[in-house]
Amino acid sequence: VGCGGGDEKKADGDKKITMGFSQIGAESEWRTANTESVKEAAKAAGIDLQFSDAQQKQENQIKAIRSFIAQGVDVIAFVPIVETGWDTVLKEAKDAKIPVIIVDRDLKVEDDSLYVAKIGTNMITEGEKGFEWLAKYANEKQLKPRDGGQQLNIVVLEGTVGSTAALGRTKGFNDAMAASPDKAKFNILASQTGEFTRQKGQEVMESFLKSYGSKIDILVAQNDDMALGAVQAIEAAGLKPGKDITILSFDGVKGIFQAMIEGKTNCTVECNPLQGELLMETAKKVLAGEKVDKIVYVEEGVFPAEVAEATLPSRKY
């Protein structure tokens, strides 16, 4: 009907759009929700999704992207496990004229034309919101160092090394702390990766407890799963998580709402994994030749334990 050009088939359904999607793995409750969101949205949008799980390895993602290029998919989307190392493979996608959409985590490439759009969350802002909540909470509750010292000591369970989710939350939190009138109250005692998993979160928290014992006042876990693992370690050490040790985490999954209701953790900064719909909309627009925003952040909030019970029924992930 006079649409002209060979691309009309992609825009209005003569042929199904094929999307190659490289997910990083299944390390957390958040990730599971993110994967489900993408799969459901693809189905609803009538997009044929080629889903590939990289098992936490960048090289597997690069392989998957190369195979999507070889198959000649219409569009590629992927979650960069780490920020760097994508230039070459994205250049290959560009040469093959396949548009690339970045999902969830950010990446750093020399040439921004290597991708058409980024859909995700602002992890620096999340880190800042986390510190703001903590400073307020410490004031309101008049938190005192357990060892009778001068400062509230923080241990940090970081996410995957080199990922935006870890780098951004670290930067946001640390910068907000450095700029705060309350900065002298806090001291970061130790910071180590727990790889965004429950298991690793538990192990690293055990070792923090062994090394620092009653010096630890606050745990900042860069995702809820690590916080839930750490809760086990803290209980096993005979302490009360959420009371002896204040716990702040990120994501806002149902599991952490449950823990907050039980008084075991104190606050979660939301990170919204429901990015599938926006991804499919964006892909359709791109393939129809419409202009799209280069960066779109999805909405997110902050949920302290006091609101956990009232909020849980409305949580979607």
Residues that bind ligand GYE (CB under 6 A): 27-28, 30-31, 104-105, 165, 196, 223, 225, 250-251, 271
d(CA 191, CA 136): 22
Q: How many other CB atoms sit within 10 Å of the CB of residue 28? A: 25
Q: Please, which residue, 137 or 317, has the CB nearer to ligand GYE?
A: 317
User: Which of 22/223 has CB closer to ligand GYE?
Assistant: 223
Rounded to a whole number of angstroms, the minimum distance from the CB of residue 203 to ligand GYE is 17
Q: How far is the CB of 197 from ligand GYE (least distance, A)?
A: 8
Which amino acid does the sequence have at 156?
V
Closest separation between CB of residue 129 and ligand GYE, Å?
14
Beta strand 152-158 with 186-193 is: parallel
C-beta of 73 vs 279, nearer to ligand GYE:
279
Task: Give 27 or 74: the residue with its C-beta nearer to ligand GYE.
Answer: 27
Output the smallest distance, CB 121 to ligand GYE, in A. Answer: 6
* Residue whose pair of structure tokens reads 């195979």 in the numeric block: 67
* C-alpha torsion sign, points 27, 33, 39, 42: negative
Question: In the complex, what is the shortest distance from the CB of residue 221 to ligand GYE, in angstroms, rounded to a whole number?
Answer: 10
Please list, in sequence order, all residues whose beta carbon lies within 8 angstroms of the beta carbon of residue 137, skipping any fewer than 6 positions away.
143, 246, 266, 267, 304
* 130 vs 241, beta carbon nearer ligand GYE: 130
In the three-class reduction of DSSP (H, G, I as helix; E, B as strand; rest coil), residue 63 is classed as helix
Contact 167, 193 (CB under 8 A): no
